[in-house]
Amino acid sequence: MADTEIQSFVNACATANIPVGEPDSYVLPPAVVIPVSAPFWQRAARVAQGCGLRWCSFWASPVDESYELFCVLEKSGDYLVLRTRTGKEEPLPSQAPIYPAADRLERHAHDLLGIEFVDAPDSRRWTRHQAWKEHEFPLRPDFIESLSQRGKTAADADYPFVRARGRGVVEIPVGPVHAGTIEPGHFRFQAVGETVLNLEERLGYVHKGIEKLAVGREPDSLVRLAGRVSGDSTVSHSWAACQALERATAFEVPPRALCLRAIMAERERVANHLGDIGAICNDVGFAFGQYQLTRLKETFVRTSHTIFGHRFMMDRVVPGGVSCDIDSAQITSMVQEAKGLTREAAEIVSMLEHSESLEDRLMTTGRLTPEQADQLGVVGYVGRASGRGVDVRHDRPYAPYDRLKFAVPVYRAGDVAARAKIRADEIGTSLDLLCQLLQSVPEGPVKESFPDVKIACEGLGIVEGWRGEILTYVQLDKDGTVTRFFPRDPSWLLWPALELLVQDNIVPDFPVCNKSVNASYSGHDL
Partner 1 sequence: MLKLFVKMIATGVITEEPPDEATSAALGAELKRGLNRYFRGSIAIRHVDAGSCNACELEIHALSNPFYNVERYGVHFVASPRHADVLLVTGPVSRHMEAALRRTWEAMPHPKWVIASGDCACDGGEFGASYASCGAVDNIIPVDLRIPGCPPAPTDLLSGLLQLMQTPYVEE
CB atoms near residue 118 (< 10 Å): 11
Least separation in angstroms between residue 228's CB and partner 1 is 4
CB atoms near residue 155 (< 10 Å): 9
Least separation in angstroms between residue 297's CB and partner 1 is 7
The footprint of partner 1 on residues 343-402 (CB under 8 A) is 347-348, 351, 354-355
- Interatomic CA distance for residues 215 and 475, integer angstroms: 9
176 preceded by a cis bond (ω within 30 of 0) = yes
x/- site string to partner 1, residues 156 to 185, per CB under 8 A?
x-------------------xx-xxxxxx-
97 preceded by a cis bond (ω within 30 of 0) = no
Using CB under 8 A, which of the segments 35-43, 143-151, 421-429, 501-509 binds partner 1?
143-151
Q: How far is CA 177 from CA 180, 181, 187, 334, in A?
A: 8, 9, 11, 39
x/- site string to partner 1, residues 215 to 254, per CB under 8 A?
---------xx--xxxxx-x--------------------
For partner 1, the closer of residues 2 and 157 by Cβ is 157
Q: Hey, what's the torsion of the CAs at 273, 279, 280, 283, to 10 degrees?
A: -170
Report if residue 339 touches partner 1, rule: CB under 8 A.
Answer: no
The footprint of partner 1 on residues 295-314 (CB under 8 A) is 295, 297-299, 301-302, 305, 311-312, 314
Please name which of 77, 83, 91 lies closest in space to residue 59, comparing C-alpha atoms. 83
Report if residue 114 touches partner 1, rule: CB under 8 A.
Answer: no
Report if residue 142 touches partner 1, rule: CB under 8 A.
Answer: no
400 preceded by a cis bond (ω within 30 of 0) = yes
**Taken in order 296, 300, 306, 311, is the CA torsion positive or negative?**
negative
Among 52, 63, 90, 291, binds partner 1 (CB under 8 A): 291
Is-contact 58 95, C-beta < 8 A?
A: yes
Least separation in angstroms between residue 324's CB and partner 1 is 16
- Interatomic CA distance for residues 264 and 338, integer angstroms: 13
Among 204, 387, 459, 496, binds partner 1 (CB under 8 A): 204
Please name which of 48, 2, 58, 49 lies closest in space to residue 471, comparing C-alpha atoms. 58
Beta bridge partners of residue 170, listed in sequence order = 191
Among 2, 155, 329, 455, binds partner 1 (CB under 8 A): 155
- What are the residues binding partner 1 (CB under 8 A)? 129-132, 138, 143, 145, 147, 152-156, 176-177, 179-184, 204-210, 212-213, 224-225, 228-232, 234, 275, 288, 291-292, 294-295, 297-299, 301-302, 305, 311-312, 314, 347-348, 351, 354-355, 520-522, 525
